[in-house]
Structure 1
Amino acid sequence: MRYLLLLPLFALVHFLGAQGAVNEREVGLEGRFIEAMQEALLGKTDEAITKFRALLEDDSRNDPALFELGRLEYAAGNTPAAIEALRSAYGLRPNEVYAAFLAELYQSAGRYREGADLYAERIKVNPAETGNYLERAAFQVRDQDIKGAVKTYEDLEGRIGINPEVTRLKHALYLGTGDLKRAERELTRLVEAFPDHVGFRHLLAGYYSSQNDDKNAREVYRAILQLEPDDVRAQLALQDAAPRAGAGTGDSELMALLGRADVDLDLKVGKLLPLVQQVATTGDRDLADRLLVLTGELRRVHPDAAKASAIEGDLYFHSGRPAEAADAYRATLKLDDTVYPVWEQLMASLYLSNQMADLRKYGEEALDIFPNRPSIYVHYALGEAFRGDFAAANSLLQQAQFMVSASPESAAALEELTTAVALLKKPVAKMEVDTDRLPGGNNGPLALYLRQVNEPDSAILSAADNPLNTNALLLELMGDARQRAGDRDAAADFYTRARAAGSKSPTLSEKISRLKS
C-alpha cells in the first residue's frame, strides 16, 4: 500500500505528459480521465471505477487509466481485477512503479510464482539492480521454491560478491531446511571474506552456541579477543562472571564489570537477574545484601537508568524490607514511570510498610496512567479503607471486581478482600475470613488488624510500627492498646498521628477529647 498515495499524481502527470500534440479526441479523453480522478479523490470508488472502465473501452492502451483502475479495484477488495488491470498497464509500459505495485498485488493474492516470474523479467531488464534479486528470492521462498531462492541469491553473489545481507538470508534458508552444514558454511564464508569484522564473528559464535557446539563457539570468541581484547561480549562468553550463592569469589569480578562505563547496561543486568530471581525464590537476605552492594555500583555508573534502581527495589522487597523497597521504586518512577510492574511493586511495598497516605497518592497517579489494572484499584482501596473512607474503598473494589469477573479465582479472592474490608468498618468477635488470601498474606496489615481489633496487644502492634506509618486505623488501634494499658500520653500520640494520616474514623475525635478531659 506504500504506493497508493503516489499513484494518482503519478498517473495524472504521466497521462498529461504523454499527450504531445493533442487533438480534439485526446482532449476529451484527458477530460474524462480528470473526471474519474476527481471521483476517486472524493472517495467515490465505485463511480470512479465505472468512469475508468468506460474510458478504457475507448482507449484500451491508456496505461495510466489502467494503473488507476487497478488501484481502485484493490481498494474495493477486487484483487483479481486489480491484478489484471496492472498486468495490462505493465505490459504497455514496463516500469519500476507498475512492477512494484503489481508485485504487491501478487503477494496479497498469494500468487507467489507470478511474483517471482515478474522479478525474473525485471532482472533481465536491469541485471545490476540488487533489489530485483532480493524480491524474486523472497517470492520464491513464499512459493516454497527454496532451491530456486538459493540459486537467485547465488546469481546475485556472482555479480556483487559475498554480501552480509545475502549471506544471512541464505543461512536462514539452510537453517530452516535443516541443512546445518551449509548454514554453518555461509557464516564461515562471511568471516573469511571480512576477517576484521568482529560482528560477523559474533554471528558465527552465536550460531555455534545455538547448536550447543561450545568448543567451536569458544574458539571463535578467542579469535574475537585477539582482534578486540576489550570485547565484553566475548569476555563474558568465555567466563562465568556471576557470583554464586554461598561463594563470593565472583563478586570482585562482577563488581569490576559493573563499574565499567563502556559495558552495555543490559549485559550487566543480564548477569544480575538470575541472582535477583534466586533472592525472589528463597528470600535469602545475605545474598540480597551482597547483591545490593553490586547494584549500588550499577546505580553509580548508570545514575539515569531506571533498571538499576528497580533491581535494587526488587532485592529489598524480596528480602522482607518493604520500606526500603518503596524508596527504590520511587526513584525508579522518577526516571521512568511507564513500566507497570514497578507501580505494582511500589504499591505493594507501601501497603506492607503501612505507608497508606503514599499508597493513596500513588494509587491515584497510577490510575491516570493504567486505568484498566485491577491491582491498582485493590491497593488504592486498601489505602482508603485504612483511613476509614469505606465508601471510596468499596467503590474501588467494585471496579476491580468488574474487571476480574471473567476469572473465577480472582473474583473469589476479591470477594474475600471485600469481606475483610467490611470487617474493618464493623469488627465481629469471630472473624470468618481466610487471611492467607488477603494482600500481604497472614502477616500483612489487613490480617494483623483483623486479628488485633478486638483484643489489641501493644507489643505485637508496636512491632508493626515505623516512623513512616500512616495507617490511620492501625495507629488508632495502637492508641487503644496503650490506653488500655494506662499509658495516656502514648495513646494520645498515636491518636494524633492517626488524625495527621487523614483518618476519617468517626470514633477518633471522641477518643482524643476523652484523653484531654
Structure 2
Amino acid sequence: MRQALTLLFLLLLVGLQAQPGSVSESSVKAESNFIEAKREAMLGRTDKAIELFKVIVDLEPDNDPARFELGRLLYAAGETSDAIDQLKEAFAQRPNEIYAAFLAELYQASGRNREGADLYTQLIKDHPQKEEYYLGKASFLVRDQDIKGAIAVYNELEKRIGVNVELARRKHSLYLGQGDVKKAEKELLTLIDTYPKAINYRHLLAGFYQSQKEEQKARKTYRDILELQPADVKAQLALQEFDSGKTGGDDDAQLIALLGRSDVDIDLKIGKLLPLVQQVASGGRTPEIGRRALRLAAELRRVHPDDAKAAAIEGDLLFHTGQLSKAAETYRQTLELDDTVYPVWEQLLVTLYLDNQIVALRDYAEEALDVYPNRPAIYLYYALGEALRADFGEALDLLDQASLMLSGKPRQLEVLQEVVKTLEGLDDPTKSQSVNPALLPGGPKGPIAFVWQQANAGGELGSLQAYDSDQNTNALFLEFLGDALKASGNKVDAATIYQRAKSAGSKSGALSQKLSSVKS
C-alpha cells in the first residue's frame, strides 16, 4: 500500500510539472521516459530503468520525482552512495516526508549516522511539533555512539510533551549501557512520581532492581504494588519466589502450579516457559528435556485452550523435537484461533514442506498469499509445492515474483537462485547444473534436495522407501519411488505408488503412461 501511494504521489508531481502553455520539448521527453522507466522497473529490468531515469535527470536536473525513483533503483542495485546523492538533491528541491524517510533509510543502511542525525535536525527545525523526528534523530545519534547527544534530544522532546514512558525507557536503557545505574534508576522513579497509580511502571522498577541484584529494593517495590493492587498476581509470585529462595529454578511442580492458575496472565506464564523453549530450540533436544517442555506446554494449553499463543508454543516445541506432523496440526489450530500473525503462517509452510505434506503446503500457501501478498517466503514455499508435483513452469513464475521482492538482499537471493537451478535441472535434465544442497530449503535432507539427488544419482529402492510416510504427498518423489519399484519387478506396489502420485496432483507428463504400463 505504501509503495502504491508513493507512486501515485510521484505521478501527480510529474503531472504538476507540465503546466499549460509552458510545456517544453525536454519536458515531454522526460515524462515519456518516466513512464517507460517505471514500466522497466516494474518488470524487474533495473539496469534499463536506471539508464532511462539518468536520461531524465540529465534533461531536467530539477525533476525531483525522477531523482527519487533513480535513487530507489540505485539502492536496489547496491549503489547506496549514488542513491544518497540523488535523494539529497530531490529533498533539497522539494522537502517532504517521503523523500526524508527514504533518505534516512539510506543513511542508516550505509552507516552515515551523523548525516542522518543532521537530516532530522533540519526536519525538527521545520516541524518542531513532530515527535517522530526527535526519535529519529536520537536513534541516529545512538548509532553514532553520541549517547550524550541522544539523551539531550530525548530531554528536549520531554520538555515539549511531558514525562513519557517510552522516553523514560529509552533514557533508562542508555544510562544502563553507560553504566550509570543511578541515573537509570532516576528515570523510572520520575516515571512513577508522575504516574503514581500506574502499576506497570512500578513493575519496570522492580524488574530493574532484580536485574541489579538489589533484592531489598525489589521486595519493597513489589510490596508497594500490592498496597495499590492487592490482587496483583505477578507481585505475589515474585515475593513468593524471594521467600522460597527460588528465582527461576527448574522446579516443575511449582511451574505447573503457576501454569494451572487461570487468574495468572498468559504472558507471565510464557515468560516463565520461554527459557526452556529456547533451550529446546537451540539444540537441547534430549528426550527428557523435550518431554518436560511439552508436558508444561500441554498444561498451558489446557488452561488457555482459546489462546493462539499457547498453541503456537506447543507447535514450536513439537517442531523442534522432530514431531513434524503433530507440529503442523498444532500450527493449523493456532491459525484457527488467530490468523493475523505472519510468522505462524510461515512456520506452518516450513513444517508442511519438511514433512512432505505437499498438497497441504500448496493449499495453505495459496491461502497465505491472499492475506500476505508481499512476503517472498510464501512465494518460495508455494513454488516448492508446485515443483514437487512437476509443475515447473508455475514454480519458476512464483520464484520470479519472490525475486522481485528480494532486491538488495543478496543472501536470500542466493538461496532463491539455487532453487531455480534445481528446478530447471529437474524440468530438463540437459540443463542440469551443479547445485549446493546446503543452500536449498531444508538443507541436504529437505524434500527438494532429496528429489534432486535421486534424479541425478538414480533412486535406490531402500533409501526411497525409508523416506516415504503415510502423509507423504510429494508427487515427484512418489514417481521416483514407483520407478524404483517397477525396476525391481514389483509392479503391484509400483501401481499403488504411481496412483498416490496422481492423487497428489502430479503434473508429470510421463506418469499416466507409467501407471498404464504397470497395470497391464
TM-score > 0.5, shorter chain as reference: yes
Is the aligned partner of 1:419 residue 2:421? yes
Supply the distance in 1 between the matched residues of 2:348 and 2:453 (Cα, whole angstroms): 26
Supply the distance in 2 between the matched residues of 1:316 and 1:275 (Cα, whole angstroms): 13
Q: For 1:147-169, what per-residue CA distance to the aligned partner results, in whole angstroms no more than 9, with x for missing partners?
A: xx9xxxxxxxxxxxxxxx99999
Describe the shift of the 1:242–1:433 C-alpha distance in structure 2 as closer, same or farther (beyond 3 A): farther
Contact 2:226 2:235 in 1 (8 A): yes
Secondary structure of residue in 1 paired with 2:509: coil
Secondary structure of residue in 1 paired with 2:251: helix
1:394 corresponding residue in structure 2 = 396
Secondary structure of residue in 2 paired with 1:479: helix
Contact 1:288 1:319 in 2 (8 A): yes
Describe the shift of the 1:174–1:290 C-alpha distance in structure 2 as closer, same or farther (beyond 3 A): closer
Deviation at 1:212, TM superposition (A): 5.1
Deviation at 1:269, TM superposition (A): 1.0
Deviation at 1:364, TM superposition (A): 0.6
Q: For 1:25-83, what per-residue CA distance to the aligned partner results, in whole angstroms no more than 9, with x for missing partners?
A: xxxxxxxxxxxxxxxxxxxxxxxxxxxxxxxxxxxxxxxxxxxxxxxxxxxx9xxxxxx
2:281 corresponding residue in structure 1 = 280
2:384 corresponding residue in structure 1 = 382
1:479 corresponding residue in structure 2 = 482
| Counterpart mapping for 1:339-418 below 5 A | 339-418=341-420
Deviation at 1:274, TM superposition (A): 2.0
Contact 2:384 2:395 in 1 (8 A): yes
Deviation at 1:463, TM superposition (A): 2.0
1:43 corresponding residue in structure 2 = none
Secondary structure of residue in 1 paired with 2:282: helix
Contact 2:248 2:272 in 1 (8 A): no
Q: Identify the range of structure 1 (173-182 vs 505-514) with the bigger mean alpha-carbon deviation.
A: 173-182
Supply the distance in 1 between the matched residues of 2:370 and 2:465 (Cα, whole angstroms): 35
Q: Tell me which amino acid in the other structure corresponds to 1:502.
A: G
Deviation at 1:292, TM superposition (A): 1.1
Describe the shift of the 1:233–1:429 C-alpha distance in structure 2 as closer, same or farther (beyond 3 A): same
Secondary structure of residue in 2 paired with 1:279: helix
Q: Tell me which amino acid in the other structure corresponds to 1:465.
A: D
Is the aligned partner of 1:459 residue 2:454? no
Contact 1:359 1:379 in 2 (8 A): yes
Q: Tell me which amino acid in the other structure corresponds to 1:405.
A: S
Q: Identify the range of structure 1 (283-292 vs 319-328) with the bigger mean alpha-carbon deviation.
A: 283-292
Q: Tell me which amino acid in the other structure corresponds to 1:294.
A: L
| Counterpart mapping for 1:96-495 below 5 A | 110=128, 142=156, 180=183, 202=203, 205-206=206-207, 208-209=209-210, 213-221=214-222, 231-238=232-239, 239=241, 249-282=250-283, 284-286=285-287, 287-427=289-429, 432-453=434-455, 454-495=457-498
Q: Which has the larger radius of gyration?
A: 1
Is the aligned partner of 1:498 residue 2:501? yes
Unaligned runs of 5+ in 2: 1-94, 96-123, 130-153
1:507 corresponding residue in structure 2 = 510
Secondary structure of residue in 2 paired with 1:311: helix
RMSD, aligned CA? 3.9
Supply the distance in 2 between the matched residues of 1:298 and 1:450 (Cα, whole angstroms): 42
Contact 2:260 2:299 in 1 (8 A): yes
Contact 2:163 2:191 in 1 (8 A): no
Q: TM-score, normalised by structure 1?
A: 0.61
Deviation at 1:323, TM superposition (A): 1.7
Contact 1:190 1:200 in 2 (8 A): no
Q: TM-score, normalised by structure 2?
A: 0.61
Contact 1:309 1:328 in 2 (8 A): yes
Contact 2:474 2:501 in 1 (8 A): yes
Describe the shift of the 1:425–1:222 C-alpha distance in structure 2 as closer, same or farther (beyond 3 A): same
Supply the distance in 2 between the matched residues of 1:391 and 1:262 (Cα, whole angstroms): 54
Contact 2:422 2:432 in 1 (8 A): no
Supply the distance in 2 between the matched residues of 1:143 and 1:363 (Cα, whole angstroms): 45
Deviation at 1:173, TM superposition (A): 13
Contact 2:424 2:432 in 1 (8 A): no
Describe the shift of the 1:207–1:381 C-alpha distance in structure 2 as closer, same or farther (beyond 3 A): closer
Supply the distance in 2 between the matched residues of 1:243 and 1:143 (Cα, whole angstroms): 38
